[in-house]
Every structure is written in C-alpha cells, then in structure tokens.
Amino acid sequence: MLPEGSRGYYCREARRWSHAGRPSLGPGRAPISDGTMPANPSREFPASQPKRPERTAGDGELDLGEAPSEEPHRAVAVGMTNEGRVRDLNEDTWRLDPLSRDLALFAVADGMGGHDRGEVASSVAVETLFDETRAGLDKLETYSVESLAQALLRAFQQANRAVVECGRTNDSNMGTTLCTALMYRESEVFVANVGDSRGYVLRNGHLTQVTRDHSLVAYLVQMGELTREQARTHPSGNILVRSVGSANQVEVDLFYFPVYRGDKVLLCSDGLWGEIPDDDIRRVLQESASPEAACRALIDLANHNGGKDNITVIVIEI
C-alpha cells in the first residue's frame, strides 16, 4: 500500500536475458574519466555471439568484495518511478532496453529542480543516450573494455549536446543528471554518471556506492568539512557542480567491474537516496524476493520518509 498522498507507479515489468557461459572482456579499469505503456513483459534477450570480445590490458578494477563462484545464470531488471508526496510533476526519466544480442543499457535521469522544463531535459538526455550508444556499437567490429567505454562516453557527450541545443531552441535553461549502466551479458558492467543520480552494487550483503556525486555537499564531504550525515540535510544539498546540459562539454565518470550471480545493481535518483540511508537501501535490496518487489519497497519507504522529490529506481538482479 502506498502512503497517503503518493502517486501511482509507472512500471515496466521484468525483462530477462540469459547466455550459456560467461565470456570476458578482459581485466577491468576504474574509474575511466572523460574531460507510455510498458513494453512486452518478460522479454527474452537472445543468446548468440555475433561479435567476439577482445581482451585488453587494464589498470585494476573497482573492489566490490569477494566474488561468488561463477555459474551460467539469468539476469532480471525492473524500473519504476513515482512523483513522491510533494511534487505534482515528475521530471525523472528512466529506460531499460537491449542494444544488441550481448548488451543491455539502463538509465536514470533527474531533470534539475528549479530549471525550466526539467522533464524535457531528462527525456532528451535518455533518448539520445540510447540512440547514440546503439549507433556507436553498430560501428564496432569487436567488443573490448576500451571500445565499449569510448562508445558510452561519446553517447554521453551527444546527450549533453542534445540537451544544450534543446535549451537554446526553446530559450530554456535546461539541465539534468544522468546515471547509466551498460551490461555485457551477465558478466561485466560499465556504470557512468553526471550529477547526483547514483549507482550502487549489493554483493554478499555489502552495499557499495559505485558513483560519485557531483554536488557541492559531496565536495565538502570529500574535503572533510561535512560528514555524510550532515550532507544529507544540508541546505545546499541540491546544488550540482556538474550536470548534463549546463555546458557544451561535460566531464563523465565511468566505472567498470565484473558482476556475479547474486549481485544486485541499483540505479536511482536523489529522490530515493535522499530519503533512505544506505543501510536501509541495503536491507531492502537484500530482503526483497525480486527486483520488482525491491523497487516497490524502496519507493514506498522513500514516500514514507517524506517523498519530497520524484523517486526513480532500476534494480538489476544477476
């Protein structure tokens, strides 16, 4: 049951994809930095190998804790969004879709509060990201860590330019966050972000925030002038120092890591993590029987704790 005053869910049902075996793209690297209605539920992602991944040398990977044993398995992803209990307009956008037989893309964007037409900015960013990532992948002869990373980074720049141009055309001060995950089969994930929408990974009961917030309070925490708890309620908590659409070029943080059976990847807007401490996010992800149950429980809890902003989540269970 939703708390009183909250709005209904917009949910795309679970999509599943599976492959026999776990081919690897090679050693990882992290971070890499560069200056309507639901679709068909339970959609199968076909198993085939149109392109052989190349191994490339890396410089270490993000440490998410001990890896479970490797087995062939199936991943399931669900996304949901909710206006919250205060706002009448939902400026968040989310999407999850296959890009090829081996790759799937997931994205959450939060149109910046206080800016004109934030819902347009988030939608333009997400749609452009998907179109440009797909176009970039179509040009690749083989997949490698470096080639996939560069394809995603180029798509981010195109999404940024699209928001900038849309703002100029409409004489509007547009801006949005953007957090995305590009998954190669069920074995490896690239997480990229601009702004303060976050990516997390739950592994062996431990929740890791993969992304870094590009906000004023995050930098104050980094410099030791605020604690993480003080930052949660700081009056300048909504000030971003980096966003999509605010300049002709945007700096993107990109992280790469392997995933294993039992891992859960979470993408979310600040309407979720701003209302729920990380330990409660961990508990909900760990106790929920499915990604759909986790999405609903997280949104319910965020609304219960205030629901002051739009709330958007994507949960991917490996």
Q: Has residue 54 been placed in a domain?
A: no
Q: Has residue 21 been placed in a domain?
A: yes
Q: Has residue 60 been placed in a domain?
A: no
Q: Has residue 23 been placed in a domain?
A: yes
Q: Has residue 46 been placed in a domain?
A: no
Is the entire prediction scored with pTM above 0.85? no
Q: Domains in the chain: how many in total? A: 1
Span between the terminal Cα atoms of the chain, in Å: 27
User: What are the tens digits of pLDDT across the range 266-301?
Assistant: 999 999 999 999 999 999 999 999 999 999 999 999
Q: Has residue 192 been placed in a domain?
A: yes
Residue 26: pLDDT over 70: no
182: domain range?
A: 10-37+73-317
Residue 140: pLDDT over 50: yes
- Sequence-distant (6+) residues with CB within 8 A of 3 are 85, 300, 303, 304, 307
Structure tokens at 218: 């995050």
Q: Has residue 211 been placed in a domain?
A: yes
pLDDT band at 254 (very low <50, low <70, confident <90, very high): very high
Q: Has residue 48 been placed in a domain?
A: no
CA distance 227 to 307: 23
- Sequence-distant (6+) residues with CB within 8 A of 169 are none
Q: What CATH code is carried by the domain that includes residue 311? A: 3.60.40.10
